[in-house]
């Protein structure tokens, strides 16, 4: 039987529509689930909804409907978003499921029978939003220490779980299992929390105050505390959502993915409940950070709440998935800005991966009638070997290391994948297959180059599949590959060169149309994709300032001063390849470029540093003004100007969708 892998998200509270935080955790879990399915593991990926408690009861009352109706209204919105985001979960649990109720009652009765639940009077400060009691020392100026909302003092009879009995056992477990709480900073927080005496946990609410919940099996006047109800889903879901009860198969969970705000409930409440039930603890609880928007906390009052459904509708699910996991290390807080999002789409996705696929398929179509050739072993060079070794190492060493559940480095994984994308583009630039195609003596070398470019993309299909589940099959189709990424394609190592012989490529739509940032939204960012091309369409030239500072180009329109053909012919435009790039110290705008013009190399200073980093432009084929009078910018001589689209700000470099050797005249 294959190895099992159980990954969960928290079950999300149905007091409002899903937001970016819900999407973030669920996408992260989906990537792990897809990665492990590719490796032939028996995966169960559980997500769902927490539908009980006082907040739901009050939200329903405000809407003038019953709590169940309120839940039934919101549940489809989560399901619809998961479909939009291409989430391939195996189970979707709702705590209103009757079979979930049965499991919760059984667990409560077990603890009660073991005398680990007792009844007592209690007076404390209660936070309705968090649905939990706080002691006098916890409350800060009459407010909840977690959410900052006002608390109210309540005195009532309640049932308590003897959580304090398991404090030392939990401390010992955390100390002996470094991977149990990740990242390390969160582990330290929990250990700090456990330095103080651990109090018993109130696990009931009187029906007179909260009636919307699961009734205690041993006292019908009470419902269970919403967190006990919610945490039990990780076990109950395995009992009735798979085709057959699968607790023995999948428990303990490989990883619970949670937000940092609910780490204590998982690492302390849930862990001690499991200890009391004499069940093993999950192998890892991984707590990620929060998202802000342009440096501010998201809130309806600020009007800056990111609607993931709207993002997907405008930019596509794969671009959204990519951005969330590439932009910030998993475990840390992240900031969402449309400017950064568009920059990733245009830079990484369109100019990077999309460009590599487009130019490779175009070259194979043009030079070999669309059939991927085989490499000639006698013509293999160090460049080819470097590409092969990088692709193999990425898939079989780097990705498995970064996607281990006790570390989960999505951003590092994607950086490594895009390192191969960049290497692939540089490989095409250096080998110049369009030049090889001009001489029949180079036929074997040309075949080898085209084969290695296609193989690089085949490996990239496997690499991007967990992150971008629609992009991978789209790439495969253009490469003439028949691949089902829901299958265990990586159960055995993928070898360089074992793709199907004589695969026929078929150029398709652009993977990632560039975003036209000249069309501004109320937030100041583009809302519209450009024409279906991964390259800029009809870009306007950048400023004609000496040195190429693209900061004051005129916008196109009827007010531009007209010139004659003679005026235009005075400007010598040439194709150039960027062979080196670095930032100019003390300038966030200027990059110093070394460009190959075919018969010479030149140094050009370009004002593109806000849109591009040096690593983004290396290897790109651009258009330069070759007869511009040299000028100095910040003491650095510039011997030309690169063309870029944009008026006040640079939108994108002018690059070529078809290959042309450096020095070619542009007219």
**Lowest mean pLDDT, pick from 106-110, 214-218, 510-514:** 510-514
Residue 159 is inside which H or E element, if any? strand 152-161
Q: Cα separation of 366 and 436, whole Å?
A: 13
Q: Give the Cα separation of 623 and 641 in Å (integer).
A: 8
Domains and CATH numbers, the chain: 4-288 (3.40.50.620), 337-478 (1.10.730.10), 536-666 (2.40.50.140)
The reply to whether the predicted model has a pTM over 0.85 is: no
Q: What is the pLDDT of residues 354-377, one digit of tens each?
A: 999 999 999 999 999 999 999 999
Structure tokens at 147: 């959410």
Q: Is 279 exposed, middle or buried (0-12, 13-18, 19+ CB in 10 A)?
A: middle
* Res 13: pLDDT: 92
**Which residue in the block uniquely carries the two structure tokens 């030239």?**
541
Predicted confidence (pLDDT) at residue 657 exceeds the cutoff of 70: no
Q: How far is Cα 454 from Cα 458, in angstroms, rounded to an integer?
A: 6
544 vs 656: which has the higher pLDDT: 656
Query: Is residue 297 exposed (0-12), middle (13-18) or buried (19+ Cβ within 10 Å)?
Result: exposed
Token digits of residue 556: 């196109």
Could you report the per-residue pLDDT of 463-474, keeping only the tens digit for each?
A: 999 999 999 999
Distances (CA, A) of 237 to 243, 244, 328, 609: 11, 11, 31, 50
pLDDT digits (tens, 9 = 90+) for 587-596: 878 999 998 8
Handedness of CA 389, 391, 392, 397 (dihedral sign): positive
* Per-residue confidence band for 527, with pLDDT thresholds at 50, 70 and 90: very low
Q: Using an 8 Å Cβ cutoff, are 506 and 478 in contact? A: yes
- Calculate what percentage of the chain has a pLDDT beyond 70: 92
Q: What CA–CA distance (Å, rounded) separates 541 from 553?
A: 7
Mean pLDDT of 335-344: 92
Q: Which of 339-343, 519-523, 547-551, 631-635 has the lowest mean pLDDT?
A: 547-551
Q: Is the pLDDT of residue 525 over 50?
A: no
Q: Helices (H) and strands (E) in the chain — how many of each?
A: 23, 28
Query: Would you call the peptide bond into 327 cis, given omega within 30 degrees of 0 as the criterion?
Result: no
Mean pLDDT of the chain: 89
- Structure confidence at residue 613 as a pLDDT band (50, 70, 90): confident
pLDDT of residue 544: 31
């Amino acid at each position: 039987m294959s190895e099992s892998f159980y990954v969960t998200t928290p079950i999300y509270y149905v007091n409002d529509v899903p937001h970016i935080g819900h999407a973030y955790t669920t996408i992260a879990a989906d990537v792990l689930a897809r990665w492990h399915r590719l490796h032939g593991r028996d995966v169960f990926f559980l997500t769902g909804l927490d539908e009980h408690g006082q907040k739901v009861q009050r939200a329903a009352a405000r809407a003038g409907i019953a709590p169940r109706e309120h839940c039934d209204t919101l549940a489809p919105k989560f399901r619809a978003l998961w479909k939009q985001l291409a989430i391939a979960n195996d189970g979707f649990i709702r705590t209103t499921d009757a079979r979930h109720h049965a499991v919760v009652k059984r667990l409560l009765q077990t603890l009660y029978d073991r005398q680990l639940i007792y009844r007592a009077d209690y007076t404390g400060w209660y936070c309705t939003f968090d649905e939990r009691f706080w002691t006098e020392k916890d409350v800060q100026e009459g407010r909840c220490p977690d959410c900052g909302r006002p608390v109210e003092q309540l005195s009532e009879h309640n049932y308590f779980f003897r959580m304090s009995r398991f404090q030392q056992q939990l401390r010992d477990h955390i100390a002996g299992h470094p991977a149990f709480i990740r990242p390390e900073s969160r582990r330290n927080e929990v250990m700090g929390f456990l330095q103080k005496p651990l109090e018993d946990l109130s696990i009931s609410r009187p029906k007179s105050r909260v009636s919307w919940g699961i009734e205690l099996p041993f006292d019908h006047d009470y419902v269970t505390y919403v967190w006990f109800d919610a945490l039990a889903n990780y076990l109950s879901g395995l009992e009735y959502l798979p085709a057959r009860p699968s607790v023995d198969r999948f428990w303990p969970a490989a990883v619970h993915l949670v937000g940092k705000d609910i780490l204590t409930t998982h690492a302390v409440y849930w862990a001690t409940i499991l200890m009391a039930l004499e069940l093993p603890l999950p192998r890892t609880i991984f707590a990620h950070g929060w998202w802000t928007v342009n440096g501010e906390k998201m809130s309806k009052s600020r009007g800056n709440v990111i609607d993931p459904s709207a993002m997907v509708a405008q930019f596509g699910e794969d671009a959204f998935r990519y951005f969330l996991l590439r932009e910030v290390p998993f475990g840390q807080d992240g900031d969402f800005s449309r400017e950064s999002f568009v920059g990733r789409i245009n830079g990484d996705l369109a100019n990077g991966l999309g460009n590599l696929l487009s130019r490779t398929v175009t070259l194979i179509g043009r030079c070999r009638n669309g059939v991927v050739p085989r490499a000639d072993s006698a013509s293999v060079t160090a460049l080819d070997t470097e590409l092969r070794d990088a692709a193999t190492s990425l898939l079989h060493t780097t990705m498995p290391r970064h996607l281990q559940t006790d570390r989960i480095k999505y951003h590092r994984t994607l950086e490594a994948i895009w390192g191969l994308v960049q290497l692939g583009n540089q490989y095409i630039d250096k080998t110049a297959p369009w030049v090889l195609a001009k001489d029949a003596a180079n036929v074997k070398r040309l075949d080898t180059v085209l084969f290695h470019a296609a193989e690089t993309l085949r490996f990239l299909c496997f690499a991007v599949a967990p992150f971008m589940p629609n992009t991978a099959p789209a790439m495969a189709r253009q490469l003439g590959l028949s691949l089902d990424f829901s299958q265990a394609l990586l159960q055995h190592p993928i070898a360089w060169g074992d793709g199907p012989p004589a695969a026929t490529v078929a150029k398709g739509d652009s993977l990632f149309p560039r975003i036209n940032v000249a069309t501004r939204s109320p937030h100041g960012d583009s809302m519209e994709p450009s024409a279906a091309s991964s390259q800029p369409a009809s870009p306007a030239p950048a400023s004609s300032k000496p040195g190429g500072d693209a900061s004051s180009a005129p916008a196109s329109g009827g007010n531009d001063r007209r010139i004659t053909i003679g005026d235009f012919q005075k400007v010598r435009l040439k194709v150039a390849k960027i062979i080196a790039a670095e930032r100019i110290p003390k300038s966030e705008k200027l990059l110093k470029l070394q460009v190959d013009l075919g018969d010479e190399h030149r140094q050009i200073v370009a004002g593109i540093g806000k849109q591009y980093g040096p690593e983004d432009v290396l290897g790109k084929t651009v258009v330069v003004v070759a007869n511009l009078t040299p000028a100095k910018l910040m003491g650095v001589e510039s011997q030309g100007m690169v063309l870029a689209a944009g008026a006040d700000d640079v939108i994108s470099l002018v690059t070529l969708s078809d290959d042309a050797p450096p020095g070619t005249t542009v007219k």
